Amino acid sequence: MSISTARRATAARRSRTTRRSRRVAALFLAPFFVLFALFTIVPLCYSLGLSLFSEQSSGLGFGGTEQVFVGLDNFVRAFGDPKFTSGFVNIFLYVLVYIPTMTLVALVVALLLDSAAAKARSFFRLAFYLPNIVPGLIAAIIWLYLYTPGISPLVDAFEAAGGTWDLSSMTAAILSLTNLSVWLHTGYNVILFYAALQAVPRDVLEAAAIDGAGPIRTALAIKARMIVGAITVAVLFTVVGAMQLFAEPLLLSSRATAITSTWTPNMFIYQTAFERHDLGYAAATAVIFAVVIGAMSWAVTKFGTRASA
């Protein structure tokens, strides 16, 4: 057999192996894409189609309603609706406080658990993760009790120390939601960061110790920088979750008068669709909301990629 024939035979085998690998990969990925199409793409397309229509009364108002094609009128109406646009401002203020706080707390706890002086790591990992198994609705009910003056030991202790806790202010409402979310979700990110820290090469840490780097400098300058990818994933998931805030402010609105029934975009969409029954307008705002979440997810991913480079 000549060298050229052997090379062609090797190339043919590699090509068959590549095609086989692609078929296997496609087989395993197919369930995800099918479910993604059914539960994300199809509803989004349906919402986009529904957003082009509006229900209007027929005749002189004595008859029923009919679907009327209005084009982009619902989108124009949404951008000019202060109740809808103010929801993005509220979410932005909440994210501005919540994400740095949660990320910093989770990173510090993970670094402490990863330190050589840490004891009972398994116990503390479980202890920090336990709040994450509590459903968001139940967590909101728990903290609603803890925010209620007269029956809450936390509020009583805070006021005994000379402070005041007035949920009627926007600042207190955002801080209350931030505290609830940090308590609920920090444990998940602690586990994520801790797992990433276990993959940091030990020889790098040993080299840092030989060079005279102390525990704090090693944690901040080496460990934290080497898990930027995990931090980016955590921030990405947190941004998407924070943007979809619904149950927590809805329950807290019974105590926090600063939180209205349209305080977040999700709450506005819910009220528009199921209380005002304006499905076309609700669909338009939902499409806008989905585009904003997608853009923010892309921005976080882009920033994380540059930071880890």
The pLDDT value given to residue 115: 78
The domain of 230 spans 78-308
Is 167 part of a structural domain of the chain?
A: yes
Is 30 part of a structural domain of the chain?
A: no
Is 6 part of a structural domain of the chain?
A: no
d(CA 91, CA 174) in angstroms, rounded, equals 9
Is 146 part of a structural domain of the chain?
A: yes
d(CA 139, CA 133) in angstroms, rounded, equals 10
What percentage of the chain exceeds 70 in pLDDT?
A: 89
- Distant-in-sequence, close-in-space partners of 129: CB < 8 Å, separation ≥ 6: 187, 188, 190, 191
d(CA 36, CA 140) in angstroms, rounded, equals 30
Is 28 part of a structural domain of the chain?
A: no
**CA 109, 110, 112, 113 torsion: positive or negative?**
positive
Whole-structure pTM value: 0.81
**CATH code for the domain in which residue 94 is found:** 1.10.3720.10
Tell me the per-residue pLDDT of 94-118, one tens digit each, with 9 for 90 and over. Answer: 999 999 999 999 999 988 888 766 6
Does residue 10 register a pLDDT over 60?
yes
Most confident of 23-27, 145-149, 285-289, 295-299: 285-289
Is 7 part of a structural domain of the chain?
A: no
